[in-house]
Amino acid sequence: MTPREVLALCREKDVKAVDFRFMDFPGLWQHFTIPVRRLTEDVFEDGLGFDGSSIRGWQAINESDMLVVPQAETAFIDPFTTLPTLCMICNIQDPITREDYSRDPRNVARKAANYLKSTGIADTANFGPEAEFFIFDDVRFDQNAREGYYHVDSIEGEWNRGRDEQPNLGHKLRYKEGYFPVPPADQMMNIRNEMMQTMIDCGLDVECQHHEVGTAGQSEIDLRFNELVKMADDVVLYKYIVKNVAARNNKTATFMPKPIFGDNGSGMHTHVSFWKDDEPLFAGSGYAGLSDMALHAIGGLLRHAPALLAFTNPTTNSYKRLVPGYEAPVNLAYSQRNRSAACRIPMYSPSPKSKRVEFRCPDPSCNPYLAFAAITMAAIDGIQNKISPGDPLDKDIYDLEPEEAANVATTPGSLDDALDALADDHDFLLRGDVFTPDVISTWIAYKRKHEADAVRLRPHPYEFCLYYDI
């Protein structure tokens, strides 16, 4: 879509307002709105100003002026606003130099896509994320000087089997048994269909929707793969739609990786493949039908995984999911069928175009622009340096002898550990000026101060269970 076509769409749909969207550093969509009469073709070139110092992780107060530059090809009609509103995703620029802003996550993703082309390895990195989320009926939480708690509830939750619901109709999902019985056990069918159709109406290419393993409304809606930047745009829109359809139905949706203790958390298994001239490059005659390029890409992902997780699993809560005993892939190994391995090679189809690597560590709390860019850079490093992934792990990790299991590397155990790994291993991200030193240092400093340290310094409710009577 061109700027002129966007203006024509505004007239066709009787649009009254235009919303400009962009991603902040940690990964939340931001926006502001103008009357439609202010949208001209010049705006697509000149952009509009805003205060960058008020955005998390961005400019200092003495250099706050920034520009949003709308990208016409991202336009869609917002399905949730009362006033007819057209939305566009924007790039961020410095108003003086007109250079793309280094800490704009979308800019990082664009640079990663361009760097891949510049290497000659491939011209496209395709991504297919499987974002999981929970739909709750109620959530309450607080943390202050004298108390800290959270409370979530769901009509599906196993814990509500004995609740007086006048009447309680049963059909509660047992822990880890949400994959995937039909209604009435699955009580989220209609709302997921509404989410799916809203995504389709907004231009997303949806493959399927279903209940996930967890009790209490755990869900998944899958998108067909697309190139790096477009898919990151789609994931952000996906999350916006999920949250707002939930709210429209008087429910709440969260992409928090581990909101329920003792049940499965929400991951975002991410399928990646490289292509050139519309031909897939990961298909070959090697293990699981992979090419040498694909195996080297896996080598890069596994070698850099501890650092990658600082972007793909960027919250303290992420590491409540990455623990042994669930579907979470804590083992830094690869396999064609073993879901406890960090890298899995799906075997559903023999078609070369279906051959890809599934990196199973990421979760949907990530900023998709930064996560997909980092995954791409790790895969490129593996290919350029012919990094061997070692032998595949096709055994059940939990059946291995202790000596054999001890030789399998595992994911970091905390956000702090992942940030330490990123501090020690980030040269591969700096190539092509994709991630700048400023981006790396700001990310580490922000995450330590506002998240890792903030959680570490506060008493935890369970500490009262353990220690109050000491």
Catalytic (active-site) positions? 51, 130, 132, 212, 220, 269, 339, 358, 360
Are the CB atoms for 143 and 267 separated by under 8 Å?
no
Measured distance CA(328)–CA(336) in Å, rounded: 16
- List C-alpha distances in Å: 412 to 151, 202, 321, 416, 417: 28, 37, 12, 9, 6
Measured distance CA(311)–CA(303) in Å, rounded: 15
Report residue 26 as tokens: 């940690």
Measured distance CA(33)–CA(52) in Å, rounded: 16
In this structure, the strands spanning 341-344 and 29-35 are: unpaired
Comparing CA positions, the residue from 302, 301, 296, 300 lying closest to residue 281 is 296
Report residue 245 as tokens: 């359809």
- List C-alpha distances in Å: 273 to 107, 109, 236, 270, 352: 21, 16, 21, 10, 11
Q: Tell me how far apart the terminal alpha carbons of the chain are, to the nearest angstrom.
A: 66
